[in-house]
A = this chain, B = another copy of it.
Amino acid sequence: MTQPITEKAFDPIALVMKLHSRHDAAGIRAFLHDQDEAKVADLLESLPSRQRQYVWELIPSACQAAVLEEMDDGVRNNLLEDLPEASAVLAISAMDDDELVDVLESVSDELADAVLRSLSMDERVAIEQRMAWPEDSAGRYMDTEWIAVRADVTLEVVARYLKRLDELPPYTDGLMVVDRAGYYQGKLSLRRLLTAPDDRLVLDVMQADADKVEVRGLSEDWVDWFENREVESLAVVDADNKLIGRITVGDALDIVREQADHQVMHMAGLDENEDLFAPIIPSARRRMFWLGINLMTAFLASWVIGQFEATLEKVVALAVLMPIVASMGGIAGSQTLTLAIRGLALGQISSANTRWLALKEISIAGINGLVWSVVVGAIAWVWFQESTIALVLGCAMIINHFAAAVAGISVPLVMNRMGIDPALSGSVILTTVTDVVGFMSFLGLATLLLL
C-alpha cells in the first residue's frame, strides 16, 4: 500500500497537467482515447478541480457515464456539482442502476430530481424500488444481468441455448436455475456444465444448496462468503425466494476497498470519500468541525491543569514534565483502541471473550507502564535532581497507562453497543480520558507530595 513511487518512465498526471497548461485539448483527447474508463477515473481523481473539469469536458459523452461509475464518490460529487445541470443529468442518467442510486443519494435534491425526471417511467420505477432497500443491503449492490435456466432440461439443451447468446455477463460463474414462476432453485456452475455429461438433467448437476442472499442482507453478512468460498456470484432473492438479482465478487472487492478507507479516514475525523483535490473552502469547513470538537477536549484538559495553578507556580518543573504523562497515555491507549476497533470490525469480539481481552490489555498496560515509568522517573531525577518529582511522574504514568487500557477497550465496546462508529469519535474520547487522567494524577500527586 505504501511502496515508494517508482521512477516510472511515464507519469500520466504530469503529462495531462502539462498538456492542460498548454491548452492542448487535442493532445489530451488523444491520450484519453487510449485509456480505459478506470484509468481515466484514476486520472480525474488525481487532478486539481480546474484541470479535472477541463479533462472531463474532453471525454466523449458516450463514455462519461462509465467513467463516473469508476470514480470515487467524493470526487464524483465534487465534479458533478461543478458541471452545468444539463450535462450532469446526461452523464448520470446513463449510469448503471446500482451506481445511479449512490449518486442520487449524494448529489443535491435539485440535481437528483432532474435526473429522475429525465428517466423513462420504467427506469424510474426500477430506481425507486432499489432506493427502498436499506443502505448497504444486497438490494443496493445487485445487478440484474443473470442467465436463467429450468431444472428439467438436459445440459445439452442448456449448451444449445447459450450458443444463441452473444456473450455472458461478467462474473458469470454459473447459471441461475429457476422455476416457471421465477423462484430460485439453485446454481448450475459453468465448471460443472462444461465437465458433466450432456444427457444429464440440470436438476441432477446443479447445486440446490447454493448460497443465496436475501435482498435486505447487509454486506457484512455476505462479503465474507466471497472471501472464504471462492464464488464469483451469488443469487439475490426476495422474502419469498424469488430471484431478483445477483451480487458479484466485483461488489465484494469494492466493499472491502471502501472499508479499508473507512477506519483510516474516520480515525482522523475525515469522511471516507474525502477528495484529495477538493476545493479549499468546503474542505476547510468539513475539517473545522472536527477541530472544534477537539478544541473542547483540549480546553477540558486545560481546565484540569488550571485547578493546579498554585502547585505549578511553586514547582515549575511540573509544567515541563506534565506533557509526557498525557502523551504516553494517549499512545498506549490508541494502540488498544485500534486493536479493539479492528477486532469489532472483524467480528472477533463477543461478550464471551471481552473479559479475557480486558485483562490482557490491563496486564500489558501494567508491564509497559512499570517499565517506562522507571525509565522516565530516572531521567526526571537526573534532570531536576529531585526524587519526589521522579516518584510522582512514575506513579502518574502507571495510573495513566491503566486508564488508557480501560478506556481503549471500553470506549469502542460501549460505542458499538450504542450504534455509534467507534472509529470516528473513539480517539477523541480516548485522548480526553488520557489527558484528563494524566494531568490530574500527575499534578494531584504533586500537590499531595510536594507541597
Interface residues of A (CB under 8 A from B): 1-5, 11, 13-14, 17-18, 36-39, 42, 45-48, 70, 159, 162-163, 165-168, 170-173, 190-198, 218, 220, 224, 226-230, 232, 249-250, 252-254, 256-257, 259-265, 267-270, 274, 276-277, 280-281, 283-284, 287-288, 290-292, 294-295, 297-299, 301-302, 305-306, 309, 312-313, 316-317, 319-324, 326-328, 331-332, 334-335, 337-339, 341-353, 356-357, 360, 363-364, 367-368, 371-372, 375-376, 379, 383, 416-419, 421-423, 431, 435
Partner of A260 from the list B47, B171, B259 (CB cut-off 8 Å) is B259
Copies of this chain in its oligomeric complex: 2
Partner of A353 from the list B1, B13, B36 (CB cut-off 8 Å) is B13
Q: How far is the CB of A91 from chain B (nearest CB, A)?
A: 19
Contact between B324 and A323 (Cβ–Cβ < 8 Å)? Answer: no
Q: A309-B320, A348-B276 are in contact. Are A38 and B229 (CB under 8 A)?
A: yes
Q: How far is the CB of A361 from chain B (nearest CB, A)?
A: 9
The A interface is mostly helix, strand or loop, or mixed, namely: helix
Complex-state Cα separation, A371 to B31, whole angstroms:
43
Q: Which residues of B contact A165 (CB under 8 A)?
A: 195
Contact between B367 and A280 (Cβ–Cβ < 8 Å)? Answer: yes
Give me 14 other A-B pairs in contact (C-beta within 8 A), A48-B356, A327-B431 excluded.
A38-B224, A45-B346, A167-B192, A168-B191, A227-B254, A256-B257, A264-B267, A265-B342, A280-B360, A284-B364, A291-B372, A294-B331, A312-B312, A316-B319
- Closest residue of B by beta carbon distance from A348: B46
Closest 8 CB pairs of A and B: A38-B228, A260-B260, A14-B352, A319-B319, A170-B230, A168-B191, A268-B338, A13-B350
Q: Which residues of B contact A327 (CB under 8 A)?
A: 294, 297-298, 301, 431, 435
Complex-state Cα separation, A349 to B306, whole angstroms:
44
Complex-state Cα separation, A242 to B422, whole angstroms:
50
Complex-state Cα separation, A375 to B4, whole angstroms:
40
Contact between B335 and A268 (Cβ–Cβ < 8 Å)? Answer: yes
Q: A195-B167, A367-B284 are in contact. Are A4 and B299 (CB under 8 A)?
A: no
Contact between B256 and A253 (Cβ–Cβ < 8 Å)? Answer: yes
